[in-house]
Amino acid sequence: MARKEYGTQWGKMITSISPAYIKKGYRYLKRHGMKQFLIRLTERFQQEDIDYETWFGLNKATEKELQEQRKNPPEHGPLISIVVPVYRTPEIYLREMIESVVNQTYGNWELCLADASPKGEQLRQDLKKIKGRKTREALMKIPDGDTELTSVIREYQLKDSRIRYEILKENKSIAENSNAAMEMATGDFVGLLDHDDTLEPNALYEVAGKICEDDRVDVVYTDEDKINSKGTKHLTPNMKPDFNLDLLRSNNYICHLFVVRRILMEKVGGFRKEFDGAQDYDFILRCTEEAEKIAHVHKVLYHWRTHEKSTSDNPESKIYAFHAGRRAVEAHLQRLGFQAEVEETCDLGYYRVKYPVIGSPMVSILIPNKDQLQTLKKCLKSIWEKTEYTNYEILIIENNSTEKETFEFYKKIDGRHHVRVLYWDKEFNYSAINNFGATQAKGEYLLLLNNDTEVITKGWMKELLSHCQRPEVGMVGAKLYFPDNTIQSAGTIIGMGGMADHAFVNMDRKKSGYMHRASIQVDMSGVTAACAMVKRSVYEEVHGLEEKLTVAFNDVDLGLKIVTAGYLIVFDPYAELYHYESKSRGVNDEKKERHAREVKYTQEKWADFLAAGDPCYNQNLTLAKHNFSLRK
């Protein structure tokens, strides 16, 4: 990097450090220690591949596009009610919020403002507590029954009849004030907006477009970012996947902008005050449980303002919110019949769901092997030492070994230590070998495992099984590391590198990645078969691994078959293994030709999926790198 660019980068970092961030860092240091603090600090200030401020300026709607949207609104677009509970909102923030709605290119909206601020007579009772002579004089002029926000809001009301305003009798809980704003709504759909945040001018146009595309859509959400307190800088973009159940249970990734069909909102019952601080998380969970279809707009259309008292800039300013978030996930799981535990992680607002293993079904571990005796021994030793679950079998599928020691070892372990040795004497075909092993397996669950892996996590098998038992899940993948403790695989991204590749390759295992995605449970469109558990019934339903793919992309193909059959694939970072696959492997001409054939076959078979884009990724993120950086 040139010295000038390096200095500019550090300048941006320094200017982005607010007093709230310093306090947040100090609390994190006290809670988690210096080592974890330094890891998170380096992640926070890691240089962006592409400057987001510049990227946003280039990718937001142009003035020409906005004008075109105003001229050509979606036909039969719904009335969208934007509901905003306001409370002593600073005037500049209030005006920016209202104007961001008034300036929408989509015109069929109403803005419902429920004001819980203290009224004039209440303010005058507390004048002695208020600093500043001018402020006190201004408050003295507020009429009885009005609030300090009334004159500003009525100014906008006079200009635009779509703005509705109600002064609440008293300031209640966050949830109750929000419900009061919701009760004002008359629209077909209701959108949630905080009183100090803003919308992009095309936000409602894009939302209405999704609703008009499919009348089954009950929920729409968009990508978002943060703005500084002055609204002059854009930062921390949250580029979201399409609806992702396990990610939502790990974190309220949907957050803003969230729009829901009013009938559904009324059915689930609005906000609940017992979840204050995470009332939106609880509400989103209940809405998504009932929604027929959930749509996602891959555009940054919501700007979450950061200031010291907001959870966006200083999460620990409202620590109770994250405890409430955990309870919201627990309540969600209970409604669905799961007796699961929810734990708060070291990253505020992120959770780990621990599902119980039901009963004691057999798990069959399939390990293809050709010689490599020491590698195989290390793998088996780690299984025996790190597996707490007892009802499993290990099927070593021998394929054309030549070394005497290998067969002597087979004789020693065959029939002992959960092991059976099977023999496949045809030429190497990873898919065919595992399919053969599956026919011989006794288990209800198949665990595909490479012989060059080593289990790290005690309880790894229970962890994978607890997810795989869920009725909606077809396959579960573990988190794999290279021997140097960098990530080899944290799930598979379809389209990356032309067909598919691993997420977060070569990132230090201690780092959590973009939006902590390398360290939380999340649904993916694929996981590596170097360690993946599959329901046997699902494996048979999709006809196992594709035997035309002898070496490459057979696990990608399997994952896509499972996803298109309607099942989820879960990446679970709490099951960890080493994978002794070389970071750089030479290939001869024959291997290159075979690889090219398998790439071509997979690309042609899944052309429609590739064209649509991986629903577990985001169209604004690059397919050229593994680190979830912005697409150029």
- Checking if the pLDDT of 340 tops 90, the result is yes
Place 145 in a pLDDT band, splitting at 50, 70 and 90.
Answer: confident
Place 36 in a pLDDT band, splitting at 50, 70 and 90.
Answer: low
pLDDT of residue 132: 61
Contact 615, 491 (CB under 8 A): no
Place 124 in a pLDDT band, splitting at 50, 70 and 90.
Answer: low
pLDDT of residue 319: 86
Return the axis-axis angle of helices 373-386 and 404-413, rounded to nearest 10°: 20
pLDDT of residue 4: 46
How many distinct helices (H) and strands (E) make up the chain?
Answer: 22, 23
Q: In Å, how far are 79, 379, 404, 422 from 411, measured between CA atoms? A: 73, 17, 11, 12
Residue type, 270: G
What are the residues facing 220 on neighbouring strands? 259, 295
Return the axis-axis angle of helices 319-335 and 279-290, rounded to nearest 10°: 20
Contact 482, 579 (CB under 8 A): yes
Place 223 in a pLDDT band, splitting at 50, 70 and 90.
Answer: very high
Average pLDDT over residues 17-41: 58
pLDDT of residue 502: 98
pLDDT of residue 12: 54
pLDDT of residue 131: 60
pLDDT digits (tens, 9 = 90+) for 450-487: 999 999 999 999 999 999 999 999 999 999 999 999 99
Contact 632, 517 (CB under 8 A): no
pLDDT of residue 316: 54
Contact 224, 255 (CB under 8 A): yes
pLDDT digits (tens, 9 = 90+) for 276-323: 999 999 999 999 999 999 999 999 999 999 976 555 555 555 788 999
pLDDT of residue 96: 98
- Checking if the pLDDT of 6 tops 50, the result is no
Residue 146 CA to residue 161 CA, distance in Å, equals: 19
- Checking if the pLDDT of 28 tops 60, the result is no
pLDDT digits (tens, 9 = 90+) for 42-96: 555 555 578 999 999 999 999 999 999 999 999 899 999 999 999 999 999 999 9
- Checking if the pLDDT of 109 tops 70, the result is yes
Beta strands in 482-580 (DSSP E): 487-489, 492-494, 500-502, 522-524, 531-535, 568-579
Q: What percent of the chain has pLDDT over 70?
A: 87
| 109, containing H or E segment | strand 109-115
pLDDT digits (tens, 9 = 90+) for 566-616: 999 999 999 999 999 865 444 566 778 888 999 999 999 999 999 999 999
pLDDT of residue 3: 45
Q: Which of 87-96, 125-134, 399-408 has the lowest mean pLDDT?
A: 125-134
Residue 221 CA to residue 191 CA, distance in Å, equals: 9
Cα dihedral: 144, 148, 151, 155 (round 10): -150
Average pLDDT over residues 384-409: 97
pLDDT digits (tens, 9 = 90+) for 226-249: 999 999 999 999 999 999 999 999
Reported pTM: 0.90
Name 170's Cβ contacts closer than 8 Å, sequence gap at least 6: 116
Task: Report the alpha-carbon angle 448-625-573, nearest 5.
Answer: 40
Q: What percent of the chain has pLDDT over 90?
A: 83
- Checking if the pLDDT of 372 tops 90, the result is yes
The SS3 assignment for 376 reads helix
Q: In Å, how far are 220, 286, 475, 500, 512 from 289, measured between CA atoms? A: 14, 5, 22, 30, 28
Average pLDDT over residues 22-41: 58
Please give the radius of gyration of the chain, using alpha carbons only, rounded to the nearest integer: 28
Instruction: State the average pLDDT for the chain.
Output: 91
Contact 188, 266 (CB under 8 A): no
**pLDDT higher for 38 or 410?**
410
Average pLDDT over residues 100-119: 97
Q: In Å, how far are 64, 158, 341, 352 from 328, measured between CA atoms? A: 43, 40, 12, 13
Record the tokens describing residue 560, joined without a space.
């896509």
Place 143 in a pLDDT band, splitting at 50, 70 and 90.
Answer: confident
| 290, containing H or E segment | helix 279-290
pLDDT of residue 424: 96
Would you call the peptide bond into 449 cis, given omega within 30 degrees of 0 as the criterion? no
Which domains, ranges and CATH numbers included, belong to the chain? 3-47 (no CATH), 58-351 (3.90.550.10), 363-612 (3.90.550.10)
Residue 562, number of CB atoms within 10 A of its CB: 24
Beta strands in 157-268 (DSSP E): 163-167, 189-192, 198-199, 217-227, 234-238, 258-261
Average pLDDT over residues 182-196: 98
pLDDT digits (tens, 9 = 90+) for 510-519: 999 999 999 9
pLDDT of residue 581: 82
- Checking if the pLDDT of 2 tops 60, the result is no
- Checking if the pLDDT of 442 tops 50, the result is yes
**pLDDT higher for 102 or 42?**
102
Contact 202, 66 (CB under 8 A): yes
| 301, containing H or E segment | strand 293-305
